[in-house]
Amino acid sequence: ETGVTQSPTHLIKTRGQQVTLRCSSQSGHNTVSWYQQALGQGPQFIFQYYREEENGRGNFPPRFSGLQFPNYSSELNVNALELDDSALYLCASSLKTGSSYEQYFGPGTRLTVT
Amino acid sequence: AQSVTQLDSQVPVFEEAPVELRCNYSSSVSVYLFWYVQYPNQGLQLLLKYLSGSTLVESINGFEAEFNKSQTSFHLRKPSVHISDTAEYFCAVSDLRGYNKLIFGAGTRLAVHP
């Protein structure tokens, strides 16, 4: 089975621009979560998608948006980039069974906003 | 709401020495508990988890953690560390309701010296 993959690995954008990050879930997983990890901090939950619908959101503004596709791959879109958006963005896929399930993380996309 | 406190930002230790990484959490509801490890320039890997049952959980590479409900702690221990254990370690919790959002601590940097 394939693991979670993310693209691109690194990205440099200018303040005010828009960015799209991509994630391919582990085979068979129907849930994807996105996290932001600023330098020196733990990951912060952005949102989660289950069967193509948003299934929970953290304390992030609406300019952070996402999509999940029928094949369970996912995108994270960030509009009007700010310097503080510079971080490692992690996606995690899981198979929702019962009330808890293990999340498998991808290697992340390092976003730098200048 | 839940929160996680990792009491040490950095833990230096010599090879083959024992180590304990401390984690305390706060929650008004029952939670699941996790330890993740992050090697340089990589994503997160699940090290071990407590969902229910025995309060002592073990990983395949010699780490163990004990859930202490009265002290709201989930400390990570290893009796003898290796150079290869050098990494960032994150404690995380998720509640038993709805979606499985992970709340992470700020991380502990374990540096193993020869």
* Of A85 and B97, the one with more pLDDT: A85
Model confidence pLDDT, tens digit, residues A24-40: 988 888 889 999 999 98
Mean pLDDT of B82-95: 94
pLDDT on residue A108: 94
**Which DSSP state fits A25?**
P
Q: Which residues contact A30 (CB under 8 A, 6 or more apart)?
A: A50, A51, A72, A95, A96
Q: Which residue of B has its CA nearest to A56?
A: B99
Q: Parallel, antiparallel, or unpaired: how do β-strands B10-14 and B3-6 relate?
A: unpaired
State residue A9's pLDDT score.
95
How far apart CA A12 and CA A111 sit, in angstroms, is 6
> What pLDDT, on a 0 to 100 scale, did the predictor assign at position B25?
95
In sequence order, the 6+-apart residues with CB closer than 8 A to the CB of B61 are none
The mean of the pLDDT values for chain A is: 91
> Does residue B33 carry a pLDDT above 70?
yes
**pLDDT for A51:** 86
Interface probe, candidates B100, B104, B109, chain A, greatest A C-beta count within 10 A: B100
Give tens-digit pLDDT for A59-75: 999 999 999 998 889 99
pLDDT band of residue A10 (cuts 50, 70, 90) is very high
Q: Which of A45, A53, A94, A109 to mutate to test the interface with B (most CBs of B within 10 A)?
A: A45
Q: Which of B45, B101, B106 sits opposite A45 (nearest CB)?
A: B101
